[in-house]
Amino acid sequence: MLDTLMRLCLARFELLSWGPTMQLDKTGHSRDYGHCPPGESEPPHLYLRQRYDLAATDEERLAVVFEARSLYRDLTQRKVIVVHEESPAEFLIRVLGAKGWPPKDVAIALRCSASQVRRLRTENGCDPDTGEICELDAKALRIQGMSWREIARLVGKPQSTIRYQLRSKT
């Protein structure tokens, strides 16, 4: 019974058609220098067969059969990789943390668009091109009754940029 189980396990290993279980044998002519044949130098099925033959008791043989089955399952079973997705809040922290970097460089590093970086910076009161926090709040100055020209002169930005920032915040 154990011999049949082991032979079935070894046959499964032999039928695997990809590298990790193929035996490393000479496959080319002697003039093919530097050509490395595919596979491993010691495939697992040959190692398991040798261990099974050297086992003295049925318990040892059964342990080798279980090891062979689990190794075959590990080699052929698809591995599930859990990917942690970044939340919008974490993404925002990363965008706002890149102060002094141009939007294009930040976008490449974070795998998003430069316009998205500019938009997030503007919505959070930062300069869209550098990410630096604006010292003066243009909205508060506008509420106090200052003109666009005066606000632009105080903040040090064009009027159109200030209008765009205030429009996107509301």
Residue-wise pLDDT for 73-126, tens only, equals: 888 887 788 888 889 989 998 998 888 899 999 999 999 999 999 999 888 878
Distances from the Cα of 100 to the Cαs of 76, 95, 150, in angstroms? 49, 11, 26
Total length of the chain: 170
Residues 152 and 101 in one domain: yes
Smallest CA-to-CA distance from 67 within 88, 45, 94, 86 is with 45
User: What pLDDT, in 10s, does the model give residues 123-134?
Assistant: 887 888 888 876
Same structural domain for residues 102 and 67? no
Find out whether 131 and 96 touch, Cβ atoms under 8 Å. yes
Q: How many helices (H) and strands (E) does the chain have?
A: 9, 0
Position 46 in a domain = yes
92 and 72, same domain (yes or no): no
Phi, psi torsion values for 152, nearest 5 degrees:
-60, -40
Sign of the torsion formed by the C-alpha atoms of 47, 28, 15 and 18? positive
Residues of the chain with pLDDT > 90, as a percent, come to 18
What pLDDT does 21 receive? 46
Number of folded domains in the chain?
A: 2
Q: Which of 157, 89, 163 is nearest to 129 (CA)?
A: 157
From CA 153, how far away is CA 41, in angstroms rounded? 75
Phi, psi of 79 (to 5 degrees): -90, 130
Of the candidates 76, 105, 122, which is a domain's last residue? 76
Task: Say if 64 falls within a structural domain.
Answer: yes
Cα separation, 132 vs 60, whole angstroms: 69
Shared domain for 95 and 122, answered yes or no, is yes
Full domain range(s) for residue 94: 88-169
**Between 155 and 27, where is the model more confident?**
155
- Confidence label for 41 from pLDDT (cuts 50, 70 and 90): low
Phi-psi region of 156 (alpha: psi -120 to 50; beta: other; left: phi over 0): left
- Same-domain pairing of 100 and 54: no
pTM above 0.85?
Answer: no
Same domain, 59 and 128: no
**Residue 82 to residue 50: CA distance in whole angstroms:** 37
Same domain for 106 and 165, yes or no, is yes
Q: Which of 134, 136, 142, 100 is nearest to 117 (CA)?
A: 100
What's the confidence (pLDDT) of residue 83? Answer: 83
Asked whether residue 81 is domain-assigned, the answer is no
At residue 104, the pLDDT reads 94
For 18-28, the pLDDT digits (tens) are: 554 454 555 55
Cβ atoms of 153 and 108 within 8 Å: the answer is no
Asked which of 76, 97, 120 is the last residue of a domain, the reply is 76
The answer to whether position 94 is within a domain reads yes
Q: How confident is the model at residue 40 (pLDDT cuts 50, 70, 90)?
A: low
If asked whether residues 129 and 57 sit together in one domain, one would say no
**Residue-averaged pLDDT of the chain:** 80
Which of 11, 44, 76 is the C-terminal boundary of a domain?
76
What average pLDDT does this structure show over 25-37? 53
Given this model, what pLDDT does residue 139 score?
78
Whether 16 and 61 share a structural domain: yes
**Is 82 within a domain?**
no
Averaged pLDDT for residues 130-147: 77
